[in-house]
Structure 1
Amino acid sequence: MSYKAMDLSSIELQNVESSAPLMRTLEKSDNMYSEERVDTDWGQMCVAHQGMDGNLQKPVIITYHDLGLNVVSNFQAFFNFMDVKLLLQSFCVYHMNAPGMEDNAPTLPDNYVYPTLDQLAQQIHSVCKHYNIKTFIGFGVGAGANILSRFALNSPDLVDGLFLINPTSTQSSWSEWLFQKLNVYYLNSSTGTTTAGANQFPITTQNYLMWHHFGKQNEERNRDLIDTYRSYFTGKSLNARNLSLFIDSYIKRTDLVIARGDKERAFKCSVLVLCGNLSPHVDDTVTMNSRLDPTNSTWMKLSDCAMVLEEQPAKVAEAFRLFLQGLGYALTAYERRRSSLRKMSLSSDKSESGDAINGNINGFNGDDSRKNSIDESAEDSVHIVENPIANC
């Protein structure tokens, strides 16, 4: 029997898929951040903070989560991503939990009046006062992006920039209002105890939350990720009644009342609007982008994803880094560290990569935290696209 020689260089690995999903978890990492309850005019707010390291003069990032999520399920995986962890050695991060949205939260009292989105935005004032935060960079997703936008419009001097994922600037449509009212009704019908996770979310709410975060799903999408969030949206960690109150507040939102050319009601800071091309909220981001000043705003769409923080963390991290550089934060130490890590993975020259990796990551202190010079971007960077309607 004769065998023909095979050209191994012509063999291409087309597709490899594991027979079982990869192991993922949405359990809270106790060593990643610490939590504290902060008093506000509308009750206590659970705030998780990380990156302190005893340096209270680092620049601050404040995050706010989307519907059906909280600090853990919305941000933990992304802020634990390698590139972001390197970046955050020079920042402090404060993660906002909407009232009653933290894991295993008790049911809010029957006489508790849930804050409106404007009032949720005003709660951030109490957090800034509590931690003596002078200015911050907002990082919001969905409902959280809307809340941070309201805060930035009402308190422009406190916000250096807004990084918004799947934001909306309009009031809810009739179809959204009706569908969300049904979710509120079903969530309230499923409650009967005072602890989260005792009753599962109704299947209609589970399906809605999956659509809200992932859009249309197919076999080629991250199966392990989708299965993990499908399990999470059964209500194992979140309190159903508390979520119904948050959703009800969100669908009663008012319009942000921003318009291109209206300087009185416009963002004074730089804004980046980001979405995934598979997200059901693309049109909302385009609408918001059309109302922003093109001189200080950017719209960006990532391919093959909807839940961008989970599906495309590397691209989001790169976009966020470039956004911070655009605000004037020089990230030279981060670039040196990231470049050295890349060299270690691609080269066997240990001495060269070792010398690079020994460079210290410098924190930002006082007035030195803001730099005018912006260094060269790293290799293979994701370039932020220009505003698609800047010339309209």
Structure 2
Amino acid sequence: MKNILIINSGSSSLKFQLIQMPSEKVLASGMVERIGLDNSRLHYKAQDQLTEELEIRDHSEALKVITDHLRHPQTGVIKQKEEIAAVGHRVVHGGDVFSETIRINEQVKEKIQEYFSLAPLHNPANLKGIEVSEKLFPAAEQIAVFDTSFHRSIPRKAAQYAIPNELYEKNHIQLYGFHGTSHKFVSKKAIERFNKENSKIISIHLGNGCSITAIKDGKSLDHSLGFAPVNGLIMGTRSGDIDQSVIFYLIDELGYTSQEVSDLLHKESGMYGLTGYSDLRDIEEKAAAGDKKCQLALDMNAYRIKKYIGAYIAAMNGADALVFTAGIGENSDVIRSLVCKDMDFFGIELDEEKNKNRDKKLREIQTGDSRVKIFVIPTNEELEIAQQSFELIS
């Protein structure tokens, strides 16, 4: 048995799970949120569950607080830090260099830093989590699992952009894809449910970041996010697909700098730009109360997803299942209903009563007449990272 600590480091949050492998037993889990902000909060669950409000200035302090709880006489599950065999890190962008899970060394960290500009909301925080855990757990192996790895199977006809070839061949500008750890995990669960390898699955990951993937026979065939995680679906603060001419207009006619445009598309757009809210729960509540901007934003969000579903059904010549996952995908019956409405031509028919079920387990929510299964599958990126980390060190 080996204990593997999984770290998912965000810009102002740090999620963790301590998982015993290969039994897949979760010894402890939780997160620190609002790092560096007022009212930082620790959520910790082992034998019992607790929440503490603390002043946590940075990721180093956050991980130290977590480590102290893991070893605490009352709340802890280990006695020494050396009982942790490996620390598995989620890293968003691995470019075209990393196609597999890898042990972290100085060269790996340098490459992660090279991709800061491609994933500015993620890679800097991911690297910070790695550097902090190296100091706190010097005896543990540090493992990187890249969100982009799962999408390396996407064929060149789907991955290359229609710009001069040398930009692909020399500068490696192409579709990389993201949320791969989540899409891989839920598609494996769906395939297990089918009990067959030959399958056509459309996996829809909806959280603050959103993406959709066409998965054929367990391999990524196409994906909505591309060179960096900002295009495709409408997200919490990210724009998703936009006419490139808008960028030139913002710079040439309205006087924006390139950095201001980047900030606008990454941090000020999406559902936040449309409504003033980035949390979908607030938007749904306002829409239900008659807010037309919020209702329009929900309609736009679902419409974009529907367009990608149609495209991926064409790409795979059919679909056996839709999979909704991640925070919004698992919990918003409103979005699922809007997405699946008027999709009966494709054999997609939602059972509205099943859709309202709040069960946290894998469930099917299609009608008996639906030719396409509609799954809600809770994602578990941490378990997927633990499985890949354990395979590497075993």
Using the size of structure 2 for normalisation, the TM-score is 0.28
With a CA cutoff of 8 Å and minimum separation of 6, indicate the structure with the bigger relative contact order: 1
Larger of the two Rg values belongs to structure: 1
